[in-house]
Amino acid sequence: MDYAVGTIGRILFVRIDHGENPIEELRKLAVKEEIKQANITLLGATGDARFVSGPKEKKLPPEVIWTELSDVTEVLGIGNILWEENEPKIHLHTSFGNKKETKLGCLREEATTYIVIEAVIIEITGFNSKRTHDKRLGASIVTFQPKTQI
């Protein structure tokens, strides 16, 4: 385990409009506002989405399962903003649901906002963190500076 202790910085309340891609809008906002590390909570609706819904098998590195939704779904998500190399990475786990189905997964790429998505971003300050790709795990994991491993 590794961890860091910080404090709350700015709090941003964000509206992502109809037709916009929430991942791309959050990336652009992180660049514009120079958000280096933050927690994200969001709710709203999507008209379509493409996300990872698990590995095919319990092995490392994982071979992921991509799931696509093309219908309107309510969405609820929690995640973070951290930088990897020179760009912000959004790690966002979301639940999608409507009267036909409910899905849960990691929204990595494509989604289209239906009507509106509202997000609260809580900036975390007092230490430095980033994402670093771990070949063994097949994932980009958070690393902290200074290191406080136990």
For domain 7-145, give the CATH number.
Answer: 3.30.1330.80
Per-residue model confidence (pLDDT) at position 73 = 97
Per-residue model confidence (pLDDT) at position 149 = 56
Per-residue model confidence (pLDDT) at position 109 = 84
Please state the domain extents for the chain.
7-145
Per-residue model confidence (pLDDT) at position 101 = 94
Q: Which residues of the chain have pLDDT under 50?
A: none
Non-local CB neighbours of 24 within 8 Å, separated by 6+ positions: none
Question: Considering all CA atoms of the chain, what is the largest pairwise distance in Å, rounded to the nearest integer?
Answer: 47
Per-residue model confidence (pLDDT) at position 150 = 54
